[in-house]
């Protein structure tokens, strides 16, 4: 049985905070089993549906899950559909089982959040053998099937036509005229000198490097922006904890503002994920309705908004306006809202503006033409092999890696579908915000005064 990663612990804690530990029959049984393992009565501490679980109790339960196994926790995290490509038990589909939809599905498995164990595995020297053994199930090759087939068939065509039209070597080593060389003429072989390809290779390398570097810079900027979103969403909760008066009305406003902050970040995730995420967002907002922090009409207005993240930011401003705060405190929280607006616009800019398509087309055309003509230059270089057949695997290997470099640039150009936005929303923002609210409500920061 595997051990829970820290990111799974955070996400599971957030789940229990939203659902309550007795939200399902399986959770009740797991909780009772945990209590029995501690020498206590499993039914001695009932927790109602929707009740909040204390942090210490939750962490102790998660330690229990470490012993029981990760699969139990994955049921609550809705991760039963498979491991990610950073997990020890992960195995991708072999190439012969991969269809056209596999590449898009694979993007979900690349939404990795690294913790200590992941980094240790990532830099392990075993990675060379592990990556080599998994080459047949790589998603990169799945997206390049047709391209590799075309250029490899081009190499086969060059070899076969030279055998048919000029000459071929028999199994005994003797050279015979080609079957189609009826007049026994001195026909020229289908080949090209290698020099033009030698000249073009540095230019091709620069084009591919610029393409991948530009795509990576977009991924890096997107991850940096989401780091800013995490920090500023936490700041909203921290500032409201600090500045809001300690009375019943402002306690409700503070929790409502935290809920609206969560609604904002989930709405932004929804925008970046697309319509397939709409039902998930609606369900998440409905949880705030059940908790009394949002009205059903607000949920419908949010779902109907043309720009849902900005609608939620406007709701946050409206809640702030209702609070009785000194101008300087109101201005400080509002400045955090403004930063969230700026980062939201930056996310929209990356998502809506691809790398100029003329450059993408140039790269694809350059690589394709280069690889289609390359067998003509490889054929003379493999004269030591039987009928120059080494041209075919050589063409396949070169094409596979050149196409793969271009494919990597394409795959990270739109970074939001491979970033772990769900983990950031659930663990880094929601769970942390709820922990900050609970800590203030418990009075732990007032101890010793």
* DSSP states along 383-448: TTSGGGTTHHHHHHHHHHHHHHHHHHHHHHHSGGGTS-HHHIIIIIIIIHHHHHHHHHHHTGGGTT
The rounded Cα 202 to chain-centroid distance in angstroms is 32
One domain for residues 315 and 406: no
Q: Domain of residue 30: give its range.
A: 1-92
Say what the pLDDT of residue 14 is.
Answer: 53
One domain for residues 42 and 157: no
**Is 113 within a domain?**
no
One domain for residues 428 and 406: no
- The structure's pTM equals 0.76
Say what the pLDDT of residue 66 is.
Answer: 52
Say what the pLDDT of residue 52 is.
Answer: 37
Last residue of a domain, one of 31, 62, 92: 92
**Is 18 within a domain?**
yes
One domain for residues 393 and 323: no
* Helices first, then strands: H and E counts in the chain: 19, 2
**Is 171 within a domain?**
yes
One domain for residues 268 and 348: yes
d(CA 420, CA 269): 10
The rounded Cα 127 to chain-centroid distance in angstroms is 20
For residue 63, give the nearest of 87, 33, 34, 29 by alpha carbon. 34
Our count of domains for the chain comes to 3
Say what the pLDDT of residue 77 is.
Answer: 40
One domain for residues 345 and 367: no
Say what the pLDDT of residue 181 is.
Answer: 74
Say what the pLDDT of residue 166 is.
Answer: 86
One domain for residues 253 and 322: yes
Structure token digits, residue 267? 């709405």
One domain for residues 334 and 251: yes
- Give the containing element (helix H, strand E) for 167: strand 167-169
Say what the pLDDT of residue 87 is.
Answer: 54
3-class DSSP assignment, residue 177: strand
Note down pLDDT in tens along the chain; length 449 residues: 334 444 444 555 555 555 444 333 344 345 444 445 444 443 333 333 233 334 445 555 555 555 544 344 434 444 334 455 555 555 556 655 566 566 666 677 677 778 888 888 888 898 888 888 877 777 777 788 889 999 999 999 999 999 988 888 888 888 888 888 766 556 678 899 999 999 999 999 999 999 999 999 999 999 999 999 999 999 999 999 999 999 999 999 999 999 999 999 999 999 999 999 999 999 999 999 999 999 999 999 999 999 999 999 999 999 999 999 999 999 999 999 999 999 999 999 999 999 999 999 999 999 999 999 999 999 999 988 999 999 999 999 999 999 999 999 998 999 999 999 999 999 899 999 999 999 988 888 887 65
Say what the pLDDT of residue 186 is.
Answer: 62
One domain for residues 185 and 259: no
One domain for residues 337 and 238: yes
One domain for residues 224 and 331: yes
As beta bridge partners, residue 169 has 175
One domain for residues 280 and 321: yes
């Amino acid at each position: 049985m595997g051990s829970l990663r820290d990111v799974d612990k955070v996400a599971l804690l957030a789940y229990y905070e939203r659902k309550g530990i007795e939200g399902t029959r399986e959770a009740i049984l797991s909780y009772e089993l945990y209590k029995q393992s501690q020498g206590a009565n499993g039914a001695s501490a009932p927790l109602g549906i929707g009740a909040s679980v204390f942090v210490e109790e939750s962490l102790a339960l998660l330690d229990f899950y470490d012993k029981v196994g990760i699969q139990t926790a994955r049921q609550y995290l809705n991760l039963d559909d498979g491991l990610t490509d950073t997990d020890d038990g992960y195995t991708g589909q072999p190439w012969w089982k991969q269809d056209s939809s596999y590449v898009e599905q694979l993007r979900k498995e690349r939404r990795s959040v690294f913790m200590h164990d992941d980094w240790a595995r990532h830099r392990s020297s075993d990675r060379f053998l592990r990556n080599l053994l998994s080459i047949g199930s790589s998603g990169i090759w799945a997206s390049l099937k047709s391209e590799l087939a075309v250029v490899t068939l081009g190499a086969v065509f060059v070899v076969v036509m030279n055998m048919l039209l000029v000459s071929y070597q028999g199994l005994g080593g003797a050279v015979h005229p080609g079957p189609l060389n009826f007049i026994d003429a001195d026909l020229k072989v289908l080949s090209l000198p290698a020099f033009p390809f030698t000249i073009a290779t540095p230019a091709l390398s620069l084009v591919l490097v610029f393409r991948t570097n530009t795509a990576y810079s977009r991924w890096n900027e997107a991850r940096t922006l989401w780091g800013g979103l995490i920090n500023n969403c936490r700041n909203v909760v921290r500032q409201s904890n600090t500045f809001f008066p300690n009375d019943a009305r402002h306690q409700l406003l503070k929790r409502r503002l935290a809920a609206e902050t969560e609604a904002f970040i989930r709405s932004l995730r929804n925008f970046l994920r697309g319509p397939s995420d709409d039902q998930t967002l609606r369900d998440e907002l409905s949880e705030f309705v059940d908790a009394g922090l949002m009205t059903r009409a607000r949920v419908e207005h949010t779902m109907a908004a043309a720009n849902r993240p900005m609608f939620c930011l406007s709701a946050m401003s409206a809640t702030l306006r209702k609070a009785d705060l000194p101008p300087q405190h109101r201005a400080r929280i509002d400045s955090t809202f403004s930063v969230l607006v700026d980062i939201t616009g930056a996310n929209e800019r990356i998502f809506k503006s691809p790398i100029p398509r003329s450059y993408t087309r140039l790269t694809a055309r350059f690589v394709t033409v280069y690889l289609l003509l390359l067998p003509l230059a490889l054929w003379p270089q493999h004269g030591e092999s039987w009928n120059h057949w080494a041209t075919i695997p050589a063409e396949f290997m070169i094409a596979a890696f050149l196409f793969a470099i271009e494919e990597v640039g394409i795959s990270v150009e739109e970074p939001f579908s491979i970033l772990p936005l769900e983990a950031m929303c659930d663990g880094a923002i929601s769970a942390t915000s709820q922990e900050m609210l609970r800590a203030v409500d418990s009075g732990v920061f007032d101890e010793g005064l």
